[in-house]
């Protein structure tokens, strides 16, 4: 039983309960466990979406995710950190991403979880292509996501 | 030999996933990202538009970087649109 960092990029789905339990079981000194799960929505920019294709840059993805987690660990006192991101073809309401963080107290866990997601969205080399009735569209990066990074730097 | 990779929408519009280029291409030394980028942009209008500075980000040896980065033989250079994971 000890703190861990887990970074996984995979095509298959993940089991939330299992991942949550792994974080819980990793130690008995942390009093906070914050999880986030990102799902495929059925709408984007007023257009109906029936699925997503997620592409990534395999050699780079895990490096970037590791750096993001390390930066979070430098900023906050964290216990275990788990990041799982899926790639390939996903249907509406499927799970895309899991971020789970433990720490002694809730504030560090909340902040670190949001920090990891904000950096993942703007730094990790993943690209989404949406399937819509009008055809497939590559998703365009949002300016608001870039602005969130600015908040962490201030 | 430089290995050049393309991802996302960029890869689709230029219909190219991977290229290998000698670091000295037709007498030009491609020793920075900026020089490589402008050489690739000369291919045609689509390459020019989608590889433009600000539109395509760049990573050298899997690290996000800027156009003034020096290149050496056997580097892996990737160009891609702003990322949209999560």
Closest CA to A127 of A65, A41, A59, A57: A57
Count of CB atoms within 10 A of residue A143's CB? 8
What count of residues does chain B have? 86
Q: How far is B12 from chain A (nearest CA, A)?
A: 10
User: Which among A55, A56, A40, A30 is positioned nearest to A112, based on CA atoms?
Assistant: A30
DSSP code per residue over A102-152: EESSHHHHHHHHHHHHHHHHHHS-EEEEEEETTEEEEPPPPHHHHHHHHHH
**Contact (CB<8Å) B80/A123:** no
List all residues of chain B from 3 to 22 with a beta carbon under 8 Å from chain A. Answer: 5, 7-9, 12
CB-closest option in A63, A120, A138 to B85: A120
HSE at residue A141, side-chain half, CA atoms within 13 A, is 26
Reported pTM:
0.94
If residue A3 lies in a helix (H) or strand (E), which one and from where to where? none
pLDDT at B10 over 80: yes
The radius of gyration of chain B's CA atoms, rounded to the nearest angstrom, is 12
Q: Are A19 and A100 in contact (CB under 8 A)?
A: yes
| Residue B54, CA distances (Å) to A39, B24, B57 in order | 29, 25, 7
Distance between CA A47 and CA B46 in Å, rounded?
A: 27
In the structure, what pLDDT confidence band is assigned to residue B31 with cuts at 50, 70 and 90?
Answer: very high
Each of the 154 residues of chain A gets a pLDDT tens digit; together they read 799 999 999 999 999 999 999 999 999 999 999 999 999 999 888 889 999 999 999 999 999 999 999 999 999 999 999 999 999 999 999 999 999 999 999 999 999 999 999 999 999 999 999 999 989 999 999 989 989 998 898 7
Residue B7 has pLDDT above 90, yes or no: yes
pLDDT value of position B5 = 98
């Amino acid at each position: 039983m000890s703190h861990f960092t887990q970074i996984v990029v995979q095509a298959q789905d993940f089991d939330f309960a299992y991942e949550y339990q792994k974080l819980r079981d990793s130690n008995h000194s942390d009093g906070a466990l914050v999880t986030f799960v990102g799902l495929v929505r059925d709408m984007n920019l007023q257009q109906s979406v029936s699925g997503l294709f997620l592409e990534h840059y395999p050699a780079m993805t895990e490096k970037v995710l590791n750096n993001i987690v390390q930066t979070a660990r430098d900023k906050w006192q964290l216990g275990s950190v788990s990041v799982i991101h899926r790639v390939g073809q996903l249907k509406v309401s499927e799970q895309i991403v899991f971020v789970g963080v433990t720490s002694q107290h809730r504030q560090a866990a909340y902040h670190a979880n949001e920090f990891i997601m904000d950096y993942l969205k703007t730094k990790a080399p993943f690209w989404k292509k949406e399937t819509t009735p009008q055809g497939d569209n590559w998703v365009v990066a949002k300016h608001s996501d870039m602005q969130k990074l600015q908040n962490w730097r201030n | 030999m430089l290995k050049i990779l393309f991802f996302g929408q960029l890869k689709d519009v230029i219909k190219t996933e991977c290229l290998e280029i000698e670091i000295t291409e037709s007498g030009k030394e491609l020793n920075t990202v900026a020089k490589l980028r402008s050489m690739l942009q000369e291919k045609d209008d689509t390459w020019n538009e989608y590889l433009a500075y600000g539109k395509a980000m760049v990573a050298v040896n899997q690290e996000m970087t800027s156009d003034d980065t020096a290149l050496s033989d056997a580097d892996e250079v990737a160009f891609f649109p702003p990322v949209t994971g999560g």
